[in-house]
Amino acid sequence: MKAMILNSYGGPEVFTAAEVAKPQVKVGHVLVRIMASSVNTVDTMIRQMGKDLPISPDLPAILGMDFAGVIEAVGEGVSDYQIGDEVYGCAGGLADLPGTLAEYIVADVQLIARKAKNISMQQAAAIPLVGITAYEGLKRAGIESGQDVLVHGGSGGVGHIALQLAKYFGANVYSTGGGDKQLALIEELGATGINYKTQTVADYVAQYTNGQGFDVVFDSVGGANMLNSFEAAKLNGQIASTVSLLELDLSVAHFKGLSLHVVFMLIPMLHNYKRQDHANILSKITEIVEAGQLIPVLDETNFTLAEIGQAHERLSSGKAMGKVVVTNSKLSEI
């Protein structure tokens, strides 16, 4: 099969086209012809950092975690899927699991679900990693109907899914953004937009929660922004963070009695630990999408598999709105 291979770590130009062996289906897995995949920040981190990142695969490697496609073969022990089913998932691209920047992937059925019927392959491919992350974070934070929920970075990949799911769960949803385009998208998705460049945390906590703070803060920005999350949370509030690689003074969290939930959704893939949870979450997200309660936002750009380097550049530029998607529609280019 055709694939884009990483023979060395570094800049986006390191991807090269190659012919590699088509993977063979195995017990508990399905062979999927990939129609589309999406680029996540973790993909760019692996490409840049290599073995400095513990999750990085050995070279040569096929990166890419998310995919949507059609099942072409079913392995022994698989009863819930058949040839021709349209599925999506997050099932490779790290450690010893080959990724999605190729024509085919052999995926563990515990890491996939049926694709929603009312969205395209490109839209489906945009969901898995960010969707699971958002769902897990909100659930671990104990989200309930009627709560005030703040999403930091609501126009980003994880953030734009988190605010829609929070709304689906019945919360009053607010979200930070840094410009007119970002705030317009946040409002379009059903949340109240907050311009973090012109409003302080104290300002919007006073305006929207009467100074009490938010019940749940979903922080998809992370890093130093975690301190803003602590400040924005109410006493005994819940913080869900997707970016926690930093040293931090926890004094505010201590004196407010906050609970911090660190979401690292790659654990099931890396450690073969509770993988079925991912299938269950993806199945639930499919239901939510088909009910019209969640729509993935795609960046305005269009990339083919042969243009994966440009897709990485686009995501890293910070200019993308929503998810950067790669379509396997022009494999002849490789």
Instruction: Return averaged pLDDT per consecutive 10 residues of the chain, 334 residues in all.
Output: 96 95 98 98 96 95 98 98 98 97 98 98 98 98 98 95 98 95 96 97 98 98 94 98 91 97 97 98 98 96 95 93 86 47
Give the count of alpha carbons within 13 A of 111, CB side only: 28
Model confidence, pTM:
0.96
Query: What's the pLDDT score for residue 320?
Result: 87
CB within 8 A of 231, min separation 6: which ones? Answer: 201, 202, 205, 252
Which of 66, 64, 50 shows the shortest CA–CA distance to 93? 64
Which of 155, 158, 160 shows the shortest CA–CA distance to 177? 155
Q: Where are the domains of the chain?
A: 2-127+271-333, 130-262
Query: What's the pLDDT score for residue 330?
Result: 52
- Confirm if 162 and 239 have CB atoms less than 8 A apart: no
CB within 8 A of 291, min separation 6: which ones? Answer: none
* CATH topology for the 2-127+271-333 domain: Quinone Oxidoreductase; Chain A, domain 1 (3.90.180)
φ/ψ (deg, to 5) at 15? -70, 135
Query: What's the pLDDT score for residue 334?
Result: 47
Spelled out in words, what is the top-level CATH class assigned to the domain 130-262?
Answer: alpha beta
Task: With H, G, I as helix, E, B as strand and everything else as coil, classify residue 227.
Answer: helix
Region for 84 from its dihedrals, namely left if φ exceeds 0, alpha if ψ lies in -120 to 50, beta otherwise: left
Instruction: Spell out where the chain has E strands.
Output: 2-6, 15-19, 29-39, 66-74, 86-90, 104-108, 112-114, 148-152, 172-177, 192-195, 214-219, 233-241, 259-262, 303-304, 324-327
φ/ψ (deg, to 5) at 271? -115, 5
